[in-house]
């Protein structure tokens, strides 16, 4: 793919040039990606409100501003492909098609939660949609993703595994062990580092000796350094497509660093006061939804009025969803004694 | 009749299961060349490199790859060369594998085995000799198997591979050279059924893996003194055949639990608690544990023996119970 200089929150970086591809792709396709991102944005905005009302069990880590990565990658995965994400994983699950209703039930501790009330926000999983889980131990799921790709290589089933993680994850040992093994075994896995500039509350630059946490380390595994503007869904999509095709060809893993910004705090309990307000304001101008809406309006694919109406409509849907789910019965305590084993039981002795 | 060693039994079970189920795949450090304990000898030659995978020294990647492969529907068998190394991949075992089925509401299944050498007595020192069954027992969601004989090694490993849950199979390294008669043919021993190795009405000796042999030797010595012992081989800690322990204890009224892991929190404590809670009225004497010492394992022969359970220690404990004395408990030592 040709490369071009693109302006990101990090300043200018060399990234795949998607200008030609963007022109080729039909506007309806971009509009569809916009709608998927918008639904995730409004879902999480609603979760934010529900958390502040004390209705969400446990913490919730929102990916507001990072939606283009989950949606862009998911858009090139097929039904047989696998993906795994992190505790900041609502977007990764929803982008694969996990039903909003079952996810919200999980967050609100209602009957019918997508993990039966046992997982909560940090462990959203929807195997039916190819989403093999959200994991809350930083980096703990990367070896798992490698194992899924290993199974695909053994079975020659053509499936690709996408694995999302944050910039801070590149400092944990499991990342190194897993990426190394995937590269040695040439496994069909796409590692996607969502570099949102902050390792929890700490600037990532303070804890890495290189500029790019993932891309600068890729050569150590014999992999190309790939950087993409993670706030540009079309760019993410094309980059992911190239990586997925490479994996499906049997040419091994890719390590993609998608540059983005977390518009909110580390979790809903964090106001993000450690960040320069000017930095946050600048990031808001690069909000992936705002950018795509502007682009769609400019190309005539979707007028500003239509876009505003769509936002209002989706917001109303999420409000209605929350009202409906809040009225549903809460999960039964006795269910805690079920499902540790695959026969549904949880006994350890006779 | 053929003789089978414990180490050959490991390879035999793997061979048997790989032949019957093509989704069974092996991975681990040096497994292709047979492994440092020769427990995977011959398997790559028979099944090829697509079934037997040599890995880097990367326990997190090994355990995690097993998890991912299991999630994708294979039945991986991962080797952790020395069980001490579980500490380097405990996140994968305790946080990921053990919890995956439960915390996803049953969406993920973990039909995998992690197996490898466990236990001391060979002077391998503090980082290659530990009995880690108590580590595993702190984590709901994994099964724990530790065989005491070659035929059980074969049958229990085969059952573990067929089991739909994650199973940690701990192979006592001091047993690898032990032999038993082997009639040949396929072999499976169900998980969760303790084996009564010897019957006697005066005292129950409960062991696991290497300590079962210690109990049997102790029982022979005790018989010379007129004391008849039940020797119960737990075989598995999860699922635990508590019913077998309770039944024996109710019959004899006296129990000595013999465990190699440190007594300060060993599996024997869990068994003792079950007995105290559910068989208290049938006990004629306090429950006694003969446990591994609460120190890192030393290397020098006499020092390692000092902190290991032994037949002699079991005899002293059992005799004390019969004489109406309460033997010094291992947990009370420094």
Q: Tens digit of pLDDT for each residue in B83-139?
A: 999 999 999 999 999 999 999 999 999 999 999 999 999 999 999 999 999 999 999
Confidence (pLDDT) at A16: 64
Stretch 292-331 of chain B: residues touching chain A, C-beta under 8 Å = none
Beta-carbon separation of A118 and B65 below 8 A: no
Q: What pLDDT digit, counting tens, does each position of B183-238 carry? A: 677 899 999 999 999 999 999 999 999 999 999 999 999 999 999 999 999 999 99
Helix/strand/coil percent split, chain B, to 5: 45, 20, 35
Q: Is the pLDDT of residue B63 over 80?
A: yes
Q: Are B48 and B42 in contact (CB under 8 A)?
A: no
Retrieve residue A148's tokens: 């899924």
Q: Are A63 and A44 in contact (CB under 8 A)?
A: yes
Beta-carbon separation of A350 and B243 below 8 A: yes
A–B interface: beta-carbon pairs under 8 A: 161
Whole-angstrom distance, CA of residue A103 vs CA of residue A126: 9
Nearest CB partner across the interface for B141, out of A140, A178, A340:
A340
Please indicate if any CB of chain A lies within 8 Å of the CB of B74: yes
Whole-angstrom distance, CA of residue A133 vs CA of residue B52: 27
Please report the DSSP string for B103-172 in residue order: HTTT------EEEEEE--SSS--TTS----HHHHHTSTT-EEE--SSHHHHHHHHHHHHHSSS-EEEEEE
Stretch 257-276 of chain B: residues touching chain A, C-beta under 8 Å = 274
Please report the DSSP string for B266-306 in residue order: -HHHHHHHHHHHHSGGG-SS--EEEEE-SSPPP-SHHHHHH
Place of tokens 């020192």: B125
Q: What pLDDT digit, counting tens, does each position of A233-246 carry? A: 999 999 999 999 99
Catalytic residue among B115, B128, B197, B254: B128
B128 is catalytic: yes
Q: Is the pTM of this model over 0.90?
A: yes
Q: What value does the mean pLDDT take over residues B314-319? A: 96
DSSP label at residue A301: S
3-state secondary structure of A41: helix
Whole-angstrom distance, CA of residue A344 vs CA of residue A337: 9
Confidence (pLDDT) at B334: 43
Please report how the helices A27-52 and A100-108 are oriented relative to each other, as an axis angle in degrees rounded to 10: 20
Beta-carbon separation of B102 and A339 below 8 A: yes
Q: How much is the CA Rg of chain A, to the nearest whole Å?
A: 20
Whole-angstrom distance, CA of residue A169 vs CA of residue A167: 5
Q: Are B331 and B263 in contact (CB under 8 A)?
A: yes
Interface test with A, best of B18, B48, B105 (most A CBs within 10 A): B105
Phi, psi of B238 (to 5 degrees): -135, 120
Q: What pLDDT digit, counting tens, does each position of B24-60 carry? A: 999 999 999 999 999 999 999 999 999 999 999 999 9
Beta-carbon separation of A119 and B103 below 8 A: yes
Chain A closest-CA separation from residue B283 CA (Å): 20
Please indicate if any CB of chain B lies within 8 Å of the CB of A143: yes
Beta-carbon separation of B103 and A151 below 8 A: no
Confidence (pLDDT) at A8: 60
Q: Is A10 exposed, middle or buried (0-12, 13-18, 19+ CB in 10 A)?
A: middle
Confidence (pLDDT) at A5: 66
List of chain A residues with pLDDT < 50 = none
Q: What pLDDT digit, counting tens, does each position of B249-265 carry? A: 999 999 999 999 999 99
Instruction: Work out the number of other CB atoms within 10 angstroms of the CB of residue A25.
Output: 15
Confidence (pLDDT) at A35: 97
Q: How much is the CA Rg of chain B, to the nearest whole Å?
A: 20
Phi, psi of B262 (to 5 degrees): -60, 135
Residues 6+ apart with CB under 8 A from B172: B117, B118, B119, B146, B148, B209, B210
pLDDT cut 90: percent of chain A above it: 88
As separate numbers, helices (DSSP H) first and strands (DSSP E) second, chain A gives: 11, 10
**Parallel, antiparallel, or unpaired: how do β-strands B113-118 and B167-172 relate?**
parallel
Nearest to A141 by CA among A128, A129, A124, A155: A124
Nearest to B97 by CA among B157, B132, B144: B144
Beta-carbon separation of A147 and B55 below 8 A: no
Nearest CB partner across the interface for A181, out of B61, B70, B240:
B61
């Amino acid at each position: 793919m040709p490369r071009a200089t693109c302006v990101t929150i990090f300043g200018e970086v060399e990234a795949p040039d998607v200008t030609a591809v963007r022109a080729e792709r039909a506007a309806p396709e971009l509009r569809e990606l916009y709608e998927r991102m918008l639904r995730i944005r409004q879902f999480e905005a609603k979760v934010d409100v529900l958390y502040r009302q004390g209705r969400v069990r446990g913490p919730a880590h929102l990916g507001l501003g990072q939606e283009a990565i989950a949606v862009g990658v998911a858009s090139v995965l097929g039904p047989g492909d696998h993906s795994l994400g992190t505790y900041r994983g609502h977007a990764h699950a929803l982008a694969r098609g996990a039903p909003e209703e079952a996810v919200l039930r999980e967050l609100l501790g209602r009957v019918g939660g997508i993990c039966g009330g046992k997982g909560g926000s940090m462990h959203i999983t929807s195997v039916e949609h190819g989403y093999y889980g959200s994991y809350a131990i930083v980096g703990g799921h990367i070896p798992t993703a490698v194992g899924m790709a290993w199974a695909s290589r053994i079975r020659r089933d053509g499936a690709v595994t996408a694995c999302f993680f944050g910039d801070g994850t590149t400092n944990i040992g499991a990342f190194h062990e897993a990426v190394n093994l995937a590269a040695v075994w040439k496994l069909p896995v796409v590692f996607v580092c969502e570099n949102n500039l902050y390792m929890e509350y700490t600037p990532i630059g303070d804890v890495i000796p290189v500029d790019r946490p993932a891309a600068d380390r890729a050569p150590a595994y014999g992999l190309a350094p790939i950087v993409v503007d993670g706030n540009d869904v079309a760019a993410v999509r094309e980059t992911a497509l190239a990586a997925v095709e490479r994996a499906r060809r049997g040419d091994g893993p890719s390590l993609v660093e998608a540059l983005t910004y977390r518009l909110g705090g580390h979790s809903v309990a964090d106001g993000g006061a450690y960040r320069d307000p000017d930095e946050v304001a600048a990031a808001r101008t690069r909000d992936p939804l705002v950018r795509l809406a502007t682009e769609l309006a400019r190309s005539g694919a979707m007028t500003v009025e239509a876009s505003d109406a769509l936002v209002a409509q989706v917001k109303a849907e999420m409000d209605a969803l929350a009202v409906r789910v809040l009225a549903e019965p809460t999960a039964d305590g006795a269910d805690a004694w079920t499902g540790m084993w695959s026969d549904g039981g949880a006994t350890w002795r006779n | 009749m053929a003789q089978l060693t414990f180490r050959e039994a490991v390879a035999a079970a793997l061979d048997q299961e790989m032949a019957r189920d093509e989704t069974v795949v092996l991975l681990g450090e040096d497994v292709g060349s047979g492994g440092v304990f020769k427990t995977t000898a011959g398997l790559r030659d028979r099944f090829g490199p697509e079934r037997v995978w040599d890995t880097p020294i990367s326990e997190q990647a090994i355990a995690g790859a097993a998890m991912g492969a299991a999630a994708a529907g294979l039945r991986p068998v991962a080797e952790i060369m020395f069980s001490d190394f579980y500490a380097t991949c405990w996140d994968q075992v305790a946080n990921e594998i053990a919890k995956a089925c439960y915390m996803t509401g049953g969406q993920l299944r973990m039909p995998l085995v992690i197996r490898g050498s466990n236990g001391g007595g060979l002077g391998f020192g503090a980082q290659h000799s530990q009995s880690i069954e108590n580590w595993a027992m702190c984590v709901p969601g994994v099964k724990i198997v530790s065989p005491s004989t070659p035929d059980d090694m074969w049958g229990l490993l085969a059952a573990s591979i067929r089991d739909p849950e994650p199973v940690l199979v701990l192979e006592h390294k001091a047993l690898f050279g032990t032999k038993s008669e082997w009639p040949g043919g396929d072999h499976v021993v169900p998980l969760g059924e303790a084996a009564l190795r010897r019957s006697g009405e005066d005292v129950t000796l409960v062991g696991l893996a290497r300590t079962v042999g210690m109990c049997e030797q102790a029982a022979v010595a005790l018989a010379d003194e007129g004391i008849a012992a039940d020797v119960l081989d737990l075989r598995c800690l999860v699922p635990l055949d508590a019913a077998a322990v309770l039944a024996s204890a109710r019959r004899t009224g006296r129990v000595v639990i013999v465990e190699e892991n440190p007594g300060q929190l060993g599996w024997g404590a869990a068994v003792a608690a079950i007995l105290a809670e559910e068989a208290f009225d049938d006990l004629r004497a306090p429950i006694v544990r003969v446990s591994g010492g609460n120190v890192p394992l030393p290397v020098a022969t006499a020092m390692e023996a000092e902190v290991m359970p032994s037949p002699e220690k079991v005899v002293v404990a059992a005799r004390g119970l019969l004489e109406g004395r309460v033997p010094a408990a291992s947990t009370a030592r420094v």
